Amino acid sequence: MNEVVDQIQAAWAVAAMVPDPELPCVTVAELGILREVIAGENGTVIAQVTPTYSGCPAVQFIEDAILEALTKAGFTARIERMISPSWTTDWISDAGLAKLKDSGIAPPVKGSNSKPALFGETVVSCPKCGSQTTEKISEFGSTPCKAHYRCMACLEPFDYFKCI
């Protein structure tokens, strides 16, 4: 039994290090899209992955990258796409939020299911200077999951990882 637990922990460690292709500053584990690694039949490990949203263009690339990392590490593995429950930005770890901010992307505000997040304007702080005097330039930034903002204090443009 300990062998299986050790195998799963080792496989998790490998899969967890895969960077997100659109946000390489964070890993799939920090984004919360790597849900779990479990034991399958005949020593196979199964990495369970939840896409950020159904139309995410990177989901197949992410799954392939996780499978490749596990295979290169010597695991017999497969990927299982989990669509329920739906991914939420609340699953991004504190380390992931900090890495987004450090790379110049305003992290999502916690509470993705709150009325202000779903129906109102969220106050987005500038990742460079911290000012809350910002304006949305475009609903879509460099990827569909980000909006483009500008800080009115330091005048820097930046992406905001939208709350989902």
Query: How many other CB atoms are found less than 10 A from the CB of residue 73?
Result: 15
pTM of the full structure? 0.86
What pLDDT, in 10s, does the model give residues 101-157?
999 999 997 655 555 544 556 789 999 999 999 999 998 888 888 899 999 999 999
Query: How many other CB atoms are found less than 10 A from the CB of residue 77?
Result: 22
Q: Which residues of the chain does CATH 3.30.300.130 include?
A: 2-81
**Distance between CA atoms of residues 104 and 87, nearest Å:** 23
pLDDT given for residue 119 in this prediction: 52
**Distance between CA atoms of residues 95 and 153, nearest Å:** 26
More confident: 160 or 53: 160
pLDDT at 12 over 60: yes
**Neighbour-count burial of 161, counting CB atoms closer than 10 A to its CB (0-12 exposed, 13-18 middle, 19+ buried):** buried
- % of the chain at pLDDT higher than 90: 74
CATH architecture, domain 2-81: 2-Layer Sandwich (3.30)
**Distance between CA atoms of residues 74 and 31, nearest Å:** 25
